[in-house]
Amino acid sequence: MSTQMEWPLWEVFVRSKAGLDHKHCGSLHAPDAKMAVQLARDVYTRRQEGVSIWVVPSSQITASDPSDKGAYFDPMEDKVYRHPTFYELPDSLNHM
């Protein structure tokens, strides 16, 4: 077995159609970026699921810490005034 010979891991992002965001859809092993794009096409878009592919070395992704999830995201929970539905307006005022 030769784990040190394993091809690096890449994260794959696919734009499903023009005008939409690229969305993370999975990962794969490839020796370099060019091969990663080619393999991503075969693994993740066999049924025309995409019009564009991004690949990023997995080691280059920086993520928020899942154990901080509460402290990190909860402060936004009580800021309901950031949503349009917080404001009660007369019915006669259409479509604001």
Residues that bind other proteins (CB under 8 A): 1-3, 5-7, 9, 25-29, 31-32, 35, 42-43, 46-47, 63, 65-67
Look up residue 22 and give its amino acid.
Answer: H
- CA torsion sign for 43, 47, 49, 51 is positive
From the CB of 19, what's the least distance to other proteins, in Å? 22
From the CB of 80, what's the least distance to other proteins, in Å? 23
Nearest CB to other proteins, comparing residues 20 and 24: 24
Query: In the chain, what are the helix, strand and coil shares in percent, each to the nearest 5?
Result: 35, 20, 40
Q: What is the DSSP letter of 48?
A: S
Nearest CB to other proteins, comparing residues 17 and 29: 29
